[in-house]
Amino acid sequence: MNAHTVIERSDAAPATTEKPDVHAMVQHETVLSPRFYTTDFKALDSIDVSLVRKEWDELMAEMVSDPNKKHFKREGSFAGIIAGLEPELRAEFIDFLVSSLTSEFSGCILYAEMARRTTNPDMKLLFKLLARDESRHAGFINEALKDEGIGIDLGFLTKAKKYHYFKPKFIFYSVYLSEKIGYARYIAIYRQLAAHPELRFHPIFQWFESWCNDEFRHGEAFALLLRADPKLLTGLNKLWVRFFLLAVYSTMYVRDHARPVFHKALGLNPTEYDFRVFTICTQISRQVFPVELDTDDPRFRRAMDRLLAASRRIDEGKRRGGIGGAFLRMSGMAGAGANFARMYLMRPRRNELPATVRMQPAW
């Protein structure tokens, strides 16, 4: 993929601009792009964390102490580093930053709104702290983009994105996973670059270690919220847990494979990197999910690769247009659906939930 393919995907951007139109990139919505969410804010008022009160209070105290207060400061500007990258790497890295910023900011907006709209003091405190961190994270990525003259107007982003409604329980499953997967993604990159500092092509990666501890803590809060209401983790809801696990994993797999040059520059193979992230995420999510996907099963891996191939047929079909393109798209959609179903129907592993929920970020 190169700068042009990124830009061609968005209708509003001319294909010849030297700098990518990041506003068109964030505005353009696909099944794979990070989304903005809204929920039933009133439902937060009745959430009761008494089942996990002790762990909850400890986590809140840790977050109030703000361990990363001074972390997101930098000595100098990063100007010129992105501009100096090879064009393909530059395009994929910008795509990575823009999509990371969108996810961080999407969390910031949702959490801030949750804090504002609830009267439940536990929820108010939690979501204020979460919004504080995500706003810092989004701002830090934006500084790196601004250094290159491609900063994103966050006011514009707030208004331009579509908001998707999710019931609170769906928000909790998906946000729990995205926080933990965010941790696993950042820590895997950080560890790789700690072992191979010569591959660190941008200074922002040096911030990833403490940064991902924020994401880990955020995930802990959602683990406690889920464990505070056991019916969210039993009965038919186990099917939803499996659905969200698979949806998050497959989206990540397809999206990461669209950035081959970026991963190569980091010395990572996207397939190995993604399965490493899935393994970390599975180990962590034993704190809360009664089922886990067996991502090491060769049948799972084969189906994931077929889903990736199908999603490439959809892209190619869109690019080609006409009857041939429509046929490719349909075949791609059928393949993606069939392989998603195949993975979904594979027998998950059962997991006994531990008495203590909290974990340490030990990866």
C-alpha–C-alpha distance, residues 153 and 317, integer Å: 33
Closest separation in Å from C-beta 330 to Fe ion: 37
Applying CB under 5 A, the span of 24-32, 97-105, 254-262, 298-306 interacting with Fe ion comes to 97-105
Taking the least distance from each CB to Fe ion, the nearer of 207 and 262 is 207
Residue 53-92 contact track with Fe ion, rule CB under 5 A, x = bound: ----------------------------------------
If binding is defined by CB under 5 A, does position 220 make contact with Fe ion? no
Closest separation in Å from C-beta 218 to Fe ion: 4
Angle between helices 298-320 and 322-345 (to 10 degrees): 160
Could you identify the residue written with the tokens 């999510």? 285
Residue 155-194 contact track with Fe ion, rule CB under 5 A, x = bound: ------------------------x---------------
273-294: b (≥16 Cβ within 10 Å) or e:
bbbbbbebbbebbebbbbbbbe
C-alpha–C-alpha distance, residues 35 and 91, integer Å: 21
Taking the least distance from each CB to Fe ion, the nearer of 16 and 65 is 65
If binding is defined by CB under 5 A, does position 274 make contact with Fe ion? no
Q: Cα–Cα distances in Å, from 229 out to 50, 64, 128, 196, 307?
A: 10, 24, 22, 43, 34
Reference 38, options 168, 224, 228; nearest CA is 168
Taking the least distance from each CB to Fe ion, the nearer of 95 and 215 is 215
18-36: b (≥16 Cβ within 10 Å) or e:
eebbbbbbbbbeeeebbbb
Number of amino acids touching Fe ion (CB under 5 A): 6
The phi, psi pair for 350, rounded to 5°, reads: -85, 155
Applying CB under 5 A, the span of 76-84, 134-142, 161-169, 194-202 interacting with Fe ion comes to 134-142
Distance of CA 68 to the CA centre of its chain: 20
Amino acid at 223: A
Applying CB under 5 A, the span of 27-35, 67-75, 136-144, 158-166 interacting with Fe ion comes to 136-144
Taking the least distance from each CB to Fe ion, the nearer of 179 and 292 is 179
C-alpha–C-alpha distance, residues 159 and 157, integer Å: 5
C-alpha–C-alpha distance, residues 186 and 174, integer Å: 18
Closest separation in Å from C-beta 142 to Fe ion: 13
Which of 23, 132, 218, 313 forms a contact with Fe ion (CB under 5 A)?
A: 218
If binding is defined by CB under 5 A, does position 137 make contact with Fe ion? yes
Taking the least distance from each CB to Fe ion, the nearer of 142 and 339 is 142
C-alpha–C-alpha distance, residues 291 and 348, integer Å: 6
Closest separation in Å from C-beta 273 to Fe ion: 19
Closest separation in Å from C-beta 286 to Fe ion: 20
Taking the least distance from each CB to Fe ion, the nearer of 172 and 300 is 172
First vs last C-alpha separation in the chain: 31
Taking the least distance from each CB to Fe ion, the nearer of 133 and 315 is 133
User: Cα-Cα-Cα-Cα dihedral of 256, 259, 264, 269, to 10°?
Assistant: 20
Taking the least distance from each CB to Fe ion, the nearer of 212 and 357 is 212
Closest separation in Å from C-beta 61 to Fe ion: 18
Residue 103-132 contact track with Fe ion, rule CB under 5 A, x = bound: -x----------------------------
| Conformational region of residue 161, where left means phi above 0, alpha means psi within -120 to 50, and beta covers everything else | beta
Which of 88, 215, 256, 292 forms a contact with Fe ion (CB under 5 A)?
A: 215
Residues of this chain that interact with Fe ion (CB under 5 A) are 104, 134, 137, 179, 215, 218
